[in-house]
Amino acid sequence: MALADKLVLQRQRHLKWRALDRLETVLMVLCGVLCFGFSMSVTADIVTRTIGHPWLWLQETTSAMFIYAIFIGAAVATRRNDHLYLTAIAEAMHGRSRLAVEIVTRLIVLAVALCLIWYGYLNYLRGFGSFRLPSGQPISYLYFMIPISGVLIALFTIEQLVNGFINGFEHREPPQEDQPIPLLETRGGEGAQP
């Protein structure tokens, strides 16, 4: 295969995953907005209760934002290898043993994602039989994010497996440059008085 063909294939592989990079960015922004909304909702709940006029709907809003942020954050952390991943064990290994640990770990994460999809969907369907107060909304809107998170985790895990088979799982970290620490000048010597 010519060098030009290899470069075209490498570029196609890179372009193939750009959509997931954008998805990750959107999910990170959404997670940040949900965490901010959660914090503001809790603050408003405390303030309204303190002044004697509680807004009861704030507890529902707070719990929904918290649950959505957790499951979206789990999906994004899976994409970044920050969650559900045994990095310390895998990074200490090389060669076939690392390949085996990386594959087994990701297959376990994929199994967890499939459980989230299946049981999260069943939970979502059962949630139509219970209702939140004071809004009277079915509790299933809280469970809605569980199967979606499972789908995202599965998607990101499959991406990691494919990239690992194509490019390898070992990532070379750039060497850290030693930065000199500047000395601080002090006035006077030992025992000097201010």
Instruction: Per-residue pLDDT tens, the chain, 194 aa: give them.
Output: 555 555 445 544 444 567 788 899 999 999 999 999 999 999 999 999 999 998 888 889 999 999 999 999 999 988 887 754 556 676 667 778 878 888 888 899 999 999 999 999 999 999 998 888 778 888 898 899 999 999 999 999 999 888 888 877 765 555 566 677 777 777 665 555 55
Distances (CA, A) of 155 to 80, 138, 158, 191, 194: 13, 28, 5, 65, 63
CA distance 194 to 136: 69
Q: State residue 18 phi and psi, 5-degree precision.
A: -60, -35
The model carries a pTM of 0.74
Domain spans in the chain, listed from the N-terminal domain onward: 10-167
Name the CA radius of gyration of the chain, rounded: 24
Whether the CB-CB separation of 110 and 157 falls below 8 Å is answered with: yes
Preceding peptide of 134 cis, ω within 30°? yes
